[in-house]
Every structure is written in C-alpha cells, then in structure tokens.
Amino acid sequence: MIMNTRANQGNVLFIILIAIVLFASLTYAVTRTTQTGSNVDTEQNALAVGEVLQYVSSLRTAVAQIIAFQPNFDITTLSFENDLDAGYNNPNCTDGSCKVFDAAGGGLNPHTSPPPGINDGSAYIYSSRNRVEGVGDNSPSGLTTDLILLLPNVTQAACEAFNTSLRLDVSSIPQEEDNTIGTAKYAAGSWPPGGGSYMSFTDDLIVGEKAACFELSSGTYYFYAVIKAN
C-alpha cells in the first residue's frame, strides 16, 4: 500500500514537472514570436523611412536641376502639377521645363502614396505655407516661406524612425510650439507668399534642420523636409 502511494506521488510529481516544462516552452515561444514581430515592424519602418528620404533627395535634385539649367529662372513658374494628385496647377508655368514631374523639367515621377503603414494613407503635400525655424528667412514675422514636403499623420513609431535615420540627437519627438502649420498645396505660383505659418519646436536640437518628424498636436505626427529654402 505504501509503495502504491509513493508510486502515485511520483507520477503526480512527474506530471507537474512536465507541465512546468511545457509552460516554460510555451512562454519562450510566445516571447520569441513577440520579439520577432517587433523586429519586423522596426525593419519595415526603417525601409519605409528610407524610401521617403530617397524621394526627398530626388525632389531636391529635380528642383535644383530646373533652376540650374535655366538662367534667370522665375521661381514663381515652378510647378508640381501631376496627373495623380489634383490641385497643383500653376498657370505661370507654360511648358514642361518648369514642371518637377516632367521629362523636360525635373524629370521626376510623382509619388502620391507614401509607403504602406508609415501613416494613415494620407498623400504627400507639396506646400509653400511655412517658414521652418532656423532655415532660410528665420524671422517669425518674415514675408517669405520655405518650399517643403509634408507627410501627414505619420505613426509614432515611424516618426521616431525618421528622427533616428536623420541622426537627430533628440530623446523624444519634438513638438510644434503653436500646434498649427500650413498644409495648403503649392499652386498658382504662390511661392514665396507673404505670411504663412512659423514652424518652431520645443526641442532646440532640431532648429535649423531641413528634415525632421514632430508632434503637431497630441498623438498627431508630421514629417517635413525642406525642398528649397527661401
């Protein structure tokens, strides 16, 4: 009888040990899966951010090419008109030589949709309604603005990835001090216009930076890149 009791106790102990081992294995598997998923998200953000930054570089080159190849180029004729996104028509531009997205001008193919997952799907905005602190005419009351690319409603993770890729020495995402920026499309030769919004930030470490990601209002993040300073 005593031997049977000891045998039963041994069986119970063995079953408990197996259960502990199985639970530990399951916990490890779940942890690895979570870590793998996190690494994949990080890699996807890095790739998406790299794609956007490459597009920024292409835009800057295209605009510089238009200006360099045409002596006495009239900046008010510069056009972002394209067949994919309406609202960028500039009547001052009368041929392809002043168009960023034309073989006779900047020779660039337009991108309207950013990489999937980097934001809520909002299109790029080519705008001339902001003066970026520390770039170009730095006066808050200045009458000229910078020509910039905006990417609205970026995810927080992508915003952090932008600033990391740009090697900005910030411990957190900077905030726009006035919680307001200009998002009107560049059209009708409206650059440089008078007024506009002055983009200033809570973190002085990005003052003068030509590209960065910031928090516009609570939980709303924007990426900007200066294409041509005023």
pLDDT at 230 over 50: yes
Least Cα distance to 154 among 144, 143, 165 occurs for: 165
| pLDDT band, residue 34 (cuts 50/70/90) | very low
Tell me, what DSSP letter sits at residue 67?
H
- Note the pLDDT tens digit of each residue in 168-178: 989 999 999 98
Q: Domain for residue 61, yes or no?
A: yes
- Is 123 part of a structural domain of the chain? yes
What is this structure's pTM?
0.79
> Is 7 a member of any domain?
no
Does residue 78 sit within a domain? yes
Report CA 27 to chain centroid distance, whole Å.
36
CA angle 124, 130, 132 (to 5 degrees): 105
- pLDDT (0 to 100) of residue 31: 45
DSSP state of 98: G
112-146: pLDDT as tens digits: 789 999 999 999 999 988 889 898 766 655 557 88
- What average pLDDT does range 142-165 have in this prediction? 91
pLDDT band at 210 (very low <50, low <70, confident <90, very high): very high
The owner of tokens 């009368």 is: 94
Q: Where are the beta strands (DSSP E) in the chain?
A: 125-132, 146-154, 197-199, 211-217, 220-228
| Nearest to 182, CA basis, from 214, 207, 145 | 145
* Domain assignment of residue 81, yes or no: yes
Number of domains observed in the structure of the chain? 1
Residue 29 has pLDDT above 50, yes or no: no
Domain membership of residue 50 (yes or no) is yes
Domain that holds residue 147: 41-228
- Residue 166: inside a domain: yes
Kindly state the average pLDDT of the residues 189-203: 75
pLDDT band of residue 196 (cuts 50, 70, 90) is confident
Residue 11, CB half-sphere, CA atoms under 13 Å: how many? 6
Say if CB 149 and CB 80 are below 8 A apart.
no
pLDDT (tens digit, 9 = 90+) per residue, 56-87?
999 999 999 999 998 888 888 999 999 988 88
In a domain, 165, yes or no: yes
**Cα–Cα distance, 172 to 166 (Å, whole number):** 14
